[in-house]
Structure 1
Amino acid sequence: MAGEGGLLPRSAPGDSGVSSRAVGALLDRLEELSVECHSIMVVRGGHVVAEGWWAPYDAERPHLLYSLTKSFTAIAVGIVIGDGLLSLDDRVVDLLPDHVPADISEQGRRLTVHHLLSMTTGHRDDSLTEAWELEPGDLVKGFLRVPFPYPEGTRHAYDNSTTFVLARIVERVTGIGLPEFVDERLFKPMGIDHAVWDRVASGAAFGFHGLHLKTEAVAAFGELLLRKGRWGNQQLVPREWVELATRRHIETLPPEDAAADWESNPDFLCGYGYQFWIGRHGYHGNGAFGQHCVVVPSHDLVVVVTSAVDQGTALPGAIWECLLPGIDQAASPQDDEMLADRLQQLSLKPVPGTAEPARSAKATLDASAEDSALPDGTLVVVDPVDGGWLVRCGTLFTVEVGHGEWRESSPLGRPVVADGGWQGNTFVAELYVITSPHRVRLVVDADAGTAMARWNMVPLTGPRLELHLQSPLMTRPDVA
């Protein structure tokens, strides 16, 4: 369905110099690549020219951004620097002295805000897991204890811990939490009032992950960057900081343990800024499983996509190949109307099957699959009700499942949207954790009395489904 948000004005694609056929070609390419899209928004010249959500996702749903969160944290750092409370040369050990390990190395003592922002601290790869293992109660201290095989400032390694440390620095120098600071200085002035932040067990926001925003809010963020930090008549972010954060500071190389297909998308090999990837055209914030905010200043263009795909997705490459050739090309009102109709009808495929309203089932869950969403032995009960089903997962939670429609419930705080059907003697349901890229396929074999619950892609914060239905999500910082 199309949105009617109020953050950005709307116009027909042709009125803003965008070919509707080019947008359609991009949609076609994503389908060809089997990209499970949840939303798309194209902004040209400050106007939304194309927007769509694949049901059951919709315009009013905040969506988990994963590491796209990092770009927001970097902008918060820039605001703090603009306030004179911080500088790029400030050392971590001076800013967070109570988190400095007794055996800190000399290199650890030299690390600065610049090294954190550019992810050039000298770690070989992501330090998050090792840092947590070294210091379960203090990730900053653990980060400073992880060995540095490379000199600081010489090599980029994508490292979640660096952004966690930046978030704690923002909080230390401002005296308030990162979510509260971003709300006050960025979101409220922009008219964004729905942000949700996942948190570690202590209650602190991850900073490197966990921000949930609606698609239009992400597009507005991209437009803010395109305008060099200006929103309306307010300079919310120092212009110099936007320019600095979105330019190349270090070259990027595939991780040493990366799969062979890492180089299939060269837009991750064009360099790294301050928590932004530099691309062949412009720059982008990126989150796991296909969360993208692409900014192309040369074409006055912002493109946002939320989705559920494996790493190594073809974005933003597909944008260059499909959409850019249609910029400043002739368009017709008929093309615009056809695109608008297509965008209105976007939908993920519902589960096929029959209703069988008199049939129920009980089964014991088999968690032998490594991506199981529920514990082994969970009793799963399927009972028909009101043209759908109630599915009880032991004592953990109960969800509503629709037939021929998506039905919503919030058993533990966050919504889950589900549909299902009987396929012979097997009940199948898709449980969408609708504020995230993730869903669980529940399969109940009524004859065998067994069930399986498997993720489309296991969330980076762990496989237990009940954890991801809680609001706010609070867990150890084990995002890999």
Structure 2
Amino acid sequence: MSVRLLPASTPAAQGVDASGVHAFLDALDAAPDIEPHSLMIMRHGHLVASGWWAPYTEDRLHLLYSLSKSFTAAAAALAADAGLIDFDAPVISYFPEFEADITDPRSRAMLVRHVASMASGHETDTLYPALGLDHENLVRGFLLLPPDRDPGTVFAYNQPTTYTLGEIVRRVTGQSLTEYLRPRLLDPLGIGETAWISDRSGRELGFSGLHATTDAVARLGQLYVQGGVWEGERLLSEAWVAEATRAQISNAEIDMSGIEWQQGYGFQFWMSRHGYRGDGAFGQFCLVLPEHDAVIATTAATEQMQKYLNLVWDHLLPAFGPEPLTGREERDTALAERLARLALAPAAGKPAPPERAEAWSAAGFTPHGGACADQPTLTAVQVTGGRSLTLVDDGQPLEVPIGDDGWTVTEGPVPTAVSGGWSDADTLVVDVAFLETPHHLVVTCSLTDGTFTAGWSTQPLHRGPLRRMRAPRGSV
């Protein structure tokens, strides 16, 4: 997997006013409820601005959450172009072993295009009800749930629809989503390592769980803004790009996260007030702006996704001008320098208190109140030598260092960055950033009563022990 660099240019040469990017960065700095991790801006096929907020880095895989859906859709598109999938065929036709079980006429009338566009006829997400009906086979559980209305008539953000689409790809190709995408999309785009969370049966989730770099997100968006062509080679059909990126179903009546989620839904893309987007929880965005010939790729940790998009529209959108700009060399240079030194502020903390050095040299802590609500499998915390914190989670130890200042990065077995320290002689507060996800766990240890508390800054949607807070590259 050879990774080729994207063509680069100055903002001004591609008609982008660096002042608008500065204003966007200022707005992020002023938003305490948005933690940015990365930003890449493409214009006219060129990378004009990119930056990563330390401790996050350019080559770091990042959990994309539901932005994964847009990659699953690309796999389905490739299979359809190869004549392996018919979007107008009934879903049940790809699962003949369920013929006798699926008797509801609406379930039997559901087409591939309906699951591709979140228009299965169900009025709410069916993930947990479907798992309740069949914990081993999500597709069967999903098809056993009779739709509330006729397929194609109502939108519902429904995880099993995308899972089912991914399973159809697996059925007709005999390969996982990654295996099928690698030679047909990922390698031609120059996308390097990716990793995808699988369910208990070993099937990639499809609707979530893909870990990839921000660069991979930018390349996918650029492929779409170029109509499916990359370096002169057609990877996705022109017809697919047109259909996937227009509203297949209305969602104007849906009360979700804000107006941006009421603009219509395509084939695993959200329509936006400007362009369209792949969209993952906590601010993982692939914003495609055909009218500006631009792509904006981001990773972040925020529950204020509408606010984040508002900042993009308020500051970055006006920066896209129709012509190259002249006399902007100093502004472009200043922007590049700022982007190169982006960093998240570490948690505050003092060094280990000398007067309590012995007490902190080997201290053990149990959950305050007898249980840890946010991470129930976290049963004990140990501090060793005032330099190391061990989190005992699901019976397994995860050791992270306690740094003196700033972020201390540890690569394995779970990549983390740690900051913080002692707030007083008897209290240790440590912020553990799990670098391949959007999430931080803040752990507070009290010598006074020998207990700890632990809370997520943003609650992970994929629950499990801490050793799984990473890209799935094998056992930990």
Q: Tell me if TM exceeds 0.5.
A: yes
Name the CA distance, whole Å, in 1 between partners of 2:39 and 2:98. 41
The 5 Å alignment of 1:174-193 reads: 174-193=173-192
Q: 1:131-210, aligned counterparts within 5 Å?
A: 131-210=130-209
Q: TM-score, normalized by length of structure 1?
A: 0.91
Tell me, what secondary structure is at the counterpart of 1:373? coil
Deviates more, 1:304-313 or 1:433-442: 304-313
Distance 2:470 2:191 in 1: 23
Partner of residue 345, structure 1 = 341
Corresponding residue SS for 1:314: helix
Q: Return the alpha-carbon distance in structure 1 between the equivalents of residues 253 and 404 of structure 2.
A: 45
Distance in 1 between the 2:66 and 2:59 partners?
Answer: 21
**For the Cα contact (< 8 Å) 2:211–2:471, is it kept in 1?**
no
Residue 302 (structure 1) shift: 0.2
Counterpart among 308, 314, 332 of residue 336 in structure 1: 332
Residue number in structure 2 paired with 1:478: none
Given that residues 185 and 236 in structure 1 are in contact (C-alpha distance below 8 angstroms), is that contact kept between their aligned partners in structure 2? yes
Kindly indicate whether the alpha-carbon contact (under 8 Å) linking 2:436 and 2:469 is maintained by their aligned counterparts in 1.
Answer: no
TM-score by length of 2: 0.91
* 1:372 corresponds to 2:374: yes
Greater displacement, 13-22 / 184-193: 184-193
TM-superposed CA distance for 1:415, in Å, is: 1.4
Aligned to 1:310: 303
On the 8 A contact 1:367/1:375 being kept in 2, the answer is: no
Residue 85 of structure 1 is matched in structure 2 by 84
**8 A contact 2:414–2:467 mirrored in 1:** no
The separation in 1 between residues aligned to 2:343 and 2:165, in whole angstroms, is: 39
Residue 29 (structure 1) aligns with? 27
Cα contact 2:154–2:250 (8 A) shared by 1 = yes
Range with greater deviation from structure 2 (332-341 or 434-443): 332-341
Contact 1:101–1:145, Cα closer than 8 Å, also in 2: no
Residue pairs, 1:38-437, within 5 angstroms:
38-100=37-99, 102-253=101-252, 255=254, 258=256, 262-263=257-258, 266-310=259-303, 312-328=305-321, 330=325, 332-356=328-352, 358=357, 359-360=360-361, 361-366=363-368, 371-375=373-377, 378-384=379-385, 388-393=387-392, 395-401=395-401, 402-409=403-410, 413-424=413-424, 425-437=426-438
Flag structure 2 segments of 5+ consecutive residues without an equivalent. none
- Distance, in Å, in 1 between the alignment partners of 2:69 and 2:204 is 12
Shift of 1:280: 1.6
- Distance (Å, rounded) in 1 between the aligned partners of 2:411 and 2:470: 8
The number of aligned residues is 460
Query: Does the C-alpha gap of structure 1 residues 448 and 73 become closer, same or farther in structure 2, counting only changes over 3 Å?
Result: same
Distance 1:70 1:470 in 2: 17
Structure 1 contact 285–293 (Cα < 8 Å) conserved: yes
Residues 371, 463 of structure 1: 8 Å contact kept: no
Counterpart of 1:351, as a letter, is A
Superposed CA deviations along residues 283-328 of structure 1, whole A, max 9, x for unmatched, are 1000011110000011010001110111543243322221121212
Provide the alpha-carbon RMSD of the alignment.
2.1
Describe the shift of the 1:124–1:92 C-alpha distance in structure 2 as closer, same or farther (beyond 3 A).
Answer: same
- Offset, 1:393: 2.4
Q: Using the aligned pairs only, state the percent identity.
A: 37
Distance 1:151 1:217, change over 3 A: same
Displacement after TM superposition at 1:103 (Å)? 4.5
Q: Distance in 1 between matches of 2:53 and 2:404?
A: 18
1:14 aligns with 2:26: no
Give the Cα–Cα distance (whole angstroms) in 2 for the partners of residues 158 and 297 of structure 1. 25
CA distance in 2, matches of 1:92, 1:75: 18
**More moved, 226-235 vs 321-330:** 321-330
Q: Which moved more, 1:192-201 or 1:307-316?
A: 307-316
Structure 1 gaps, min length 5: 475-480
* Distance change (3 Å), C-alpha of 1:469 and 1:304: closer
What SS class does the counterpart of residue 154 from structure 2 fall into? Answer: coil
Distance, in Å, in 2 between the alignment partners of 1:371 and 1:298 is 47
Q: Distance in 2 between matches of 1:292 and 1:46?
A: 18
CA distance change for structure 1 residues 368 and 38 in 2, over 3 Å: closer, same or farther? farther
